[in-house]
Amino acid sequence: EMKKRGVEPDIVTYNAAISACEKGGREYTDTALALLAELKRSGIGPDVITYNAIVKACFDGKRYSHAQEKTREAIDMGIYPNFVASKSAKWDLHDLTEATSCMLLGDSLISIVEASWFRKVTIITGKGLHSDDGPVLQEKVPRFLREVAGIEISMQEGNEGRFIITRKTLQKWGTFGKYKEFKNVMTNQQCMYR
C-alpha cells in the first residue's frame, strides 16, 4: 500500500510489519519471511529488531529450520553472539529473547557435536530481574532443551539463573541420545515442541 502511494518503506516500517506478523500468529509466518526477503532486496540491512521478530515468528510457528537459518544469518552478520566460535564455556543469554536463545543454543549444541568438541557448558539465563514478565528464559529455555533437544540439564546449585550441560551429557546426547532427531527437527519442518 505504501509503495502504491509513492512512499518507500524503511527499516522501521519493515520491522513494524514483521513484528506485526510475528504477533499475528503462525498464519503470518510466510508473510514475515516474504517481508524480510523484500527488505533485503531493497538494499536495507536487517538489524537486531528485524532478526528478533523473524526468529520469533518462525519459532512460534514451530518452523525451527527457518528460525535456525535466520539465527545463523544474524550470527554471520555479528548481530547475535557466536558461542562456539568464542570457545567460551559460559553462554550468556542476557538481553536475548526466548526464541533467539533457544535457536542459538540449538545451533551451538549441534555445532559442538558435529565438531566432537565436547565440554561442560554453563548457560546463563539470569534471574529475570529486568523482565516485566519475570524469569522467562529461566523456565522456557531449559524446557526447550529438554523437550525438543532431548538433552539433560542440571540447574546450578545456589543460582537459579544458571544451568549446566556436562561434557559427559553432551557426549552421551551426541552419540546415543536424541541429537540426530533434534538435528532433523532443526533442519526440516518436523515439529516436536508443543
The Cβ-side half-sphere exposure at 147, using a 13 Å CA radius, reads: 11
pLDDT in tens, 113-155: 888 888 889 999 876 555 666 677 888 899 999 998 999 999 8
DSSP 149: I
Higher-confidence position of 132 and 36: 36
pLDDT of residue 71: 93
Please state, in angstroms and rounded to a whole number, the distance separating the CA atoms of residues 81 and 93: 9
Would you say the C-alpha torsion 152, 171, 65, 131 has a positive or negative sign? Answer: positive
Backbone angles phi, psi at 129, to 5 degrees: -65, -25
What is the CB neighbour count within 10 angstroms for residue 142? 18
Please state, in angstroms and rounded to a whole number, the distance separating the CA atoms of residues 173 and 165: 10
Please state, in angstroms and rounded to a whole number, the distance separating the CA atoms of residues 23 and 137: 19
Maximum alpha-carbon separation in the chain: 60
The C-alpha cell at 94 is 542476557
Please state, in angstroms and rounded to a whole number, the distance separating the CA atoms of residues 45 and 157: 42
pLDDT in tens, 83-112: 877 777 889 998 888 999 999 999 889 988
The answer to which of 31-40, 68-77, 127-136, 152-161 has the lowest mean pLDDT is 127-136
pLDDT of residue 191: 41
pLDDT of residue 118: 83
